Chain A
Amino acid sequence: MLELKKVSKHFGSVAALVELDLLARPGEILGLLGPNGAGKTTTMKTIAGFWYPSSGQILLDGLDIAIKPEAAKRRVGYLQENVALYDDMKVFEYLKFMAEMRDLLPEHQLERIKEVAERCGLNKVIGRPIAHLSKGFKQRIGLAQAILHDPEVLILDEPTAGLDPNQIVEIRGLIKEIGATKIMIFSTHILAEAAAICDRIVIINQGLKVAEGTPDELACLTASQQYYLEVAAEPSLVAECLASYGLTAEQEDPQLAAYKIIFKNKEQRLQLAAALARAGLPVVEFAPQNHGLEDSFRQLTQNI
């Protein structure tokens, strides 16, 4: 279990993180969401041991990582944002170097490098100089070195940034697979991605945690649920029906029975659907207008 207790990080007079509490359990994928500059990367670098927190504690299985940072680092795998590798090395050379730095037993190194290269789809390029490879491959090498020593904790900072859609699907699959047994924290600014893979999401803004929950919980945070309704009938008939339920609707087009409706809850939505059916009005389209998570995100992170 990885626990952040009131972790703050200051750079001079700028507070990048303010008393952040975070809990990550094995087998649970924790997503860090936030606008650019919210403190996601700062959080991850601090956990990875790149720098110390200005105050607060980071506990790995109850032990403060500041007491024995090297021992803690052994248990963490880290993929940095904008992955940087030793470009003058070949892929295999690089992974071998990392395996040695990570203290893998010499007799296991080859086998493990093979295994990880296979998993990250690096077999084709294993003998090529890193400098010649595409961004997608570099990202995979970054991921490969992060999981090489089979760490208990994986910190992945925007692992899908800059990849093409096929690669994104592959990497997401890999994250899900690995995350099933590890403590996994990853950051992204793609909301759909967070909703798709995370078990729990923490939204941070300006160094503060502003929300935490499952993707569904967060999607429901914003009360407003906007729907688009289109009925193949006289607008006046539909307007009557809407009025009888006390719903405020905005007509999209005066000729057409098409409305934007804001419901207060699911009840209201069901009532309206039933009423339209009873009145025999054929519904052409009745669909949510936006993703709830996106709404929550915007509401929580808009800097007013």
Chain B
Amino acid sequence: MIINDPHAVRSISVLVKKELAGYFNSPIAYVVISVFLVIVNWLFFKPFFLVGEVSLRGFFDLLPWLLLFLAPALTMRLWAEEKKSGTFELLMTLPITTWQAVLAKFIGSFIFMLLILALTLNIPFSVASMGSLDWGPVDGGYLGAVFISLIFLAIGLFMSAMTKNQIIAFVGTLVVAFLALVAGSSFVLSGMPDLAAKILAGAGLANHYANLAKGVLDTKDFVYFFSMTFFFLWLNARVLEARKW
């Protein structure tokens, strides 16, 4: 369905290239990266020196909340702008399937996100230089951040496909991603009927992320992240396909 011929692979890679160029050609991307890095470093290092403990727990507790804002900033324009400017029309008359276009945009935003996450590596390395750091949770934490990014970007891309307005796409993503993040928290679950609490605990992002950030790698969590991502990409393709009728 997605990749059935060499044309498709080539088309996707051409589109991914175009998406990445779109990020690097725009000054907004550099502003977003800079602001993000400054905030991450500030928020992490400020309490870090007060506590004086060689651990990245603070960083990984913080990261999902920052990704909550970063991911929609990266995805909000992806479909909305194409729709608003009219380039969407031409894109949809090119010999690619809707799935291929969705996938290409997703991969493009994901690569860009990986780059930003890589730019935060100064944090573990500077912490490691100050004492002996247990790298297990760091690896797990980054893996978790990558997985959260997958889901948030998929949600963001889907939201961007729903509207021509980038602000709406941003806020919509923020709301959905926020709900996904807090759904499993004990604050939400307390006072819920048993069954609902169980479902929400499974559906919420935070618990799966917490496992990874502890350094625990479980297939259940992998399945969760990939199926959620796929679900939103699938919705995205569906929305764009439905428009044709």
List the interface of chain A (C-beta within 8 A of B).
Answer: 45, 48-52, 54, 70-71, 73-74, 76, 78, 80, 82-89, 93, 97, 100-103, 145
B-chain residues with CB within 8 Å of residue A73 when the two chains form the complex: 93-95
A–B Cβ pairs within 8 angstroms, 14 of them: A50-B89, A50-B92, A50-B93, A51-B243, A51-B244, A51-B245, A52-B244, A70-B7, A76-B93, A80-B89, A93-B21, A101-B15, A102-B94, A103-B10
Smallest CB separation, B135 vs chain A (Å):
40
Partner of B18, one of A48, A74, A97: A97
Smallest CB separation, B107 vs chain A (Å):
16
Which of B87, B92, B95 gathers the greatest number of chain A CB atoms within 10 Å? B95
Partner of B90, one of A54, A71, A74, A84: A84
In Å, the complex CA distance between A84 and B97 comes to 20
Write the B212-245 contact mask toward A (1 if CB under 8 angstroms, else 0): 0000000000000000000000000000000111
A88 near B26 with CB under 8 A, answer yes
Given A84-B87, A88-B25, also A102-B95 (CB < 8 A): yes
When C-beta atoms are compared, the residue in chain A nearest to B18 turns out to be: A97
In Å, the complex CA distance between A71 and B96 comes to 9
A-chain residues with CB within 8 Å of residue B10 when the two chains form the complex: 100, 103
B-chain residues with CB within 8 Å of residue A45 when the two chains form the complex: 89
In Å, the complex CA distance between A87 and B95 comes to 22
When C-beta atoms are compared, the residue in chain A nearest to B14 turns out to be: A100
B244 near A84 with CB under 8 A, answer no
In Å, the complex CA distance between A242 and B63 comes to 94
Given A50-B92, A51-B245, also A101-B14 (CB < 8 A): yes
B245 near A52 with CB under 8 A, answer yes
B92 near A49 with CB under 8 A, answer yes
In Å, the complex CA distance between A48 and B95 comes to 10
Give the secondary structure class of B's interface: helix
In Å, the complex CA distance between A103 and B8 comes to 10
B-chain residues with CB within 8 Å of residue A71 when the two chains form the complex: 95
List the interface of chain B (C-beta within 8 A of A).
Answer: 7, 10-11, 14-15, 18, 21-22, 25-26, 85-87, 89-90, 92-97, 243-245
16 new A-B contacts, CB < 8 A, other than A70-B95, A89-B21, are A50-B244, A52-B245, A70-B96, A73-B93, A73-B95, A74-B95, A82-B86, A83-B86, A86-B18, A86-B22, A88-B22, A97-B14, A97-B18, A100-B14, A101-B15, A102-B95
A-chain residues with CB within 8 Å of residue B94 when the two chains form the complex: 73, 101-102
Smallest CB separation, A105 vs chain B (Å):
11
In Å, the complex CA distance between A89 and B14 comes to 14
Smallest CB separation, A193 vs chain B (Å):
23
Chain A to chain B: the 10 pairs with minimum beta-carbon distance, closest first:
A84-B86, A51-B244, A73-B95, A100-B14, A48-B93, A74-B95, A70-B95, A88-B25, A84-B87, A78-B93
In Å, the complex CA distance between A95 and B133 comes to 51
A-chain residues with CB within 8 Å of residue B87 when the two chains form the complex: 84-86
In Å, the complex CA distance between A89 and B7 comes to 23
In Å, the complex CA distance between A73 and B92 comes to 10
A-chain residues with CB within 8 Å of residue B89 when the two chains form the complex: 45, 50, 80, 84
B85 near A87 with CB under 8 A, answer yes
A-chain residues with CB within 8 Å of residue B243 when the two chains form the complex: 51
B90 near A103 with CB under 8 A, answer no
Partner of A101, one of B11, B26, B245: B11
Smallest CB separation, A301 vs chain B (Å):
26
In Å, the complex CA distance between A80 and B93 comes to 10
In Å, the complex CA distance between A83 and B245 comes to 23
Given A50-B244, A84-B87, also A101-B93 (CB < 8 A): no
When C-beta atoms are compared, the residue in chain A nearest to B100 turns out to be: A70
B90 near A78 with CB under 8 A, answer yes
In Å, the complex CA distance between A89 and B244 comes to 28
Which of B15, B22, B85, B245 gathers the greatest number of chain A CB atoms within 10 Å? B245
When C-beta atoms are compared, the residue in chain B nearest to A48 turns out to be: B93
When C-beta atoms are compared, the residue in chain B nearest to A84 turns out to be: B86
Partner of B7, one of A51, A87, A103: A103
B-chain residues with CB within 8 Å of residue A78 when the two chains form the complex: 90, 93
In Å, the complex CA distance between A82 and B18 comes to 22
In Å, the complex CA distance between A85 and B86 comes to 8
Smallest CB separation, A110 vs chain B (Å):
16
In Å, the complex CA distance between A245 and B241 comes to 66
B-chain residues with CB within 8 Å of residue A93 when the two chains form the complex: 21
In Å, the complex CA distance between A100 and B18 comes to 11
